[in-house]
Amino acid sequence: MSHIYARQLDLVLEWLDRGRVKKVLDASCGKGRAIKRLHHTYYVTGVDISREMLEHVKDLELDRVDLVRADVDKLPFDSSVFDSVLCLEALVHYPNPRIALGEFRRVLRPHGLLIVDVDNENSLKRLVKKSGIH
């Protein structure tokens, strides 16, 4: 599965590269798999409700990365501060996904790029599998 996740991140990077993206919010960043790929090019803020997950990312000692422990229902950021918001494979786990999506919209700059992935027929994982690229 790691090769599929790597290809998913390749697609995300392609989309980010097309926009004028400098600041990225990785919502529910988990162990930082996306952050590890993004921090070379972008200023990344990783948010997770789990202190344990954030400690794992902190141990990676990555440049240009801020980590914030917060609930996505109440993001502790000003409005319109991120060029892109990523939420990969986490939305289905939120008790109030509409509230989280509203928060993503609030912190995203006008015409910013929101990338939310959930497992359905058009999910990044299934697009990668259909393409045959591994």
pLDDT tens per residue, range 82-124? 999 999 988 888 999 999 999 999 999 999 999 998 765 665 6
Beta strands in 43-81 (DSSP E): 43-48, 65-69
Instruction: Identify the pLDDT of residue 124.
Output: 62
pTM: 0.85
117 phi, psi to nearest 5 deg: -120, 130
| pLDDT above 70: percentage of residues in the chain | 86
Amino acid identity at 29: C
Task: Answer for the pair 118, 90: CB distance below 8 angstroms, yes or no.
Answer: no
pLDDT tens per residue, range 32-58? 999 999 999 999 999 999 999 999 999
Model confidence band, residue 31 (pLDDT cutoffs 50, 70, 90):
very high
Instruction: Identify the pLDDT of residue 121.
Output: 60
Task: Answer for the pair 41, 61: CB distance below 8 angstroms, yes or no.
Answer: no
Homologous superfamily (CATH) of 21-115 is: Vaccinia Virus protein VP39 (3.40.50.150)
